[in-house]
Amino acid sequence: MNDMATVFARESHRMMAAKEFSSGAHPVWCAGCGDYGVIAALERGLAKHGRPPHEVVLVSGIGCSSRLPAYTSCYGFHGVHGRALAVAAGLKLTRPDLEVIAVGGDGDGYSIGGNHFIHACRRNVDMLYLVMDNRVYGMTKGQPSPTTEPDWDSRIAPGGVGLRPFNPMQLAIAAGANFVARGFSGDPDGLADLIVEGIRRPGFALVEVLSPCITYRPEQMAWKKMVRQSATPPATDPVAATAMVLADDGFSLGVLYRGDCPPAPAAPTPTATLAAIEGQFALGGLGQTRAIREIP
């Protein structure tokens, strides 16, 4: 083992403090945004989990909530709108040694990223997906999202969109996610526990967080009076879990579903060198490979 590897191995086994997961950069979020509670919970959860920041990668798309990776000391990839899960799944399958966590908003994950969401659940890739659901597109000034209530009246959608919101928990269970839980940004300790369990449970874990947008949806401040711990123990059968989720008003917190499907296997170790792979994609000039020139 070289010197750096020895340091890392030692680091992997020491107690971590939540503040070690903070980058020190001050979030640009509005004062009172629920996402402050989510990052506090994530830092506490990661400290409890015990892997050092350099072994954790946070992958996000675009949105206020998707800025989260920059506020942590973990590796981060703040990518393209709706594509966090595609990047995160690829990373986890090729680097199973890393703790991979995708984060973002309901617009990012359930609108433009909806297809990736379904297939990440279906593939059951071993990672955590933390969705900060404020039922609105915060960053782009308040458009309705797939989880917005049909009658939410706003300047951009007068009288409401009139569409039934979809239920992310139901969708995740139907598509094959192995762990489904709901947390609240106003309960960072409870959320931290859900995050730890979601990380540790093999397979795809969805932790949906009710995280109010105080700027475009100030009425969501009332959520703190509406949330409560789920009265039903977590279901282990997808049919029972679906029935439970459908009967719920969307404010029950805790683990809703714990499955036992084996996670997607890691990708085989590539045998080709990077230069050889690059060569296959080179178009013309000196980089053109024999293989490409031979294509009829």
Ligand X SMILES: Cc1ncc(C[n+]2csc(CCOP(=O)(O)OP(=O)(O)O)c2C)c(N)n1
What residues make contact with ligand X under the rule CB under 6 A?
62-65, 81, 104-108, 132, 134, 136-140, 145
CB 144 within 8 A of CB 136: yes
Burial of 9 (0-12, 13-18, 19+ CB in 10 A): exposed
Cα–Cα–Cα angle for 262, 250, 176, rounded to 5 degrees: 15
CB 219 → ligand X: shortest distance, Å? 15
CB 213 within 8 A of CB 134: yes
CB nearer to ligand X: give 106 or 197.
Answer: 106
Paired tokens of 1: 């083992």
CB 193 → ligand X: shortest distance, Å? 23
CB nearer to ligand X: give 62 or 121.
Answer: 62
Compute the half-sphere exposure of residue 97: CA atoms within 13 Å on the CB side of its CA: 6
Pick from 52, 61, 127: nearest CA to 93: 127
- How far apart are alpha carbons 126 and 74 in whole angstroms? 18
CB 224 → ligand X: shortest distance, Å? 19
CB 105 → ligand X: shortest distance, Å? 2
CB nearer to ligand X: give 16 or 139.
Answer: 139
CB nearer to ligand X: give 105 or 198.
Answer: 105
Paired tokens of 285: 């000039």
CB nearer to ligand X: give 27 or 96.
Answer: 27
CB 35 → ligand X: shortest distance, Å? 7
CB nearer to ligand X: give 64 or 264.
Answer: 64
CB 99 within 8 A of CB 66: no
Element (H, E) at 204: strand 204-210
Pick from 210, 206, 179: nearest CA to 38: 210
Name residue, tokens 């992958």: 59
CB 26 → ligand X: shortest distance, Å? 17
Paired tokens of 87: 């990047």
CB 117 → ligand X: shortest distance, Å? 12
First to last CA, the chain: 49
CB nearer to ligand X: give 53 or 212.
Answer: 212
Pick from 107, 69, 106: nearest CA to 87: 69
CB 171 → ligand X: shortest distance, Å? 16
CB nearer to ligand X: give 128 or 139.
Answer: 139
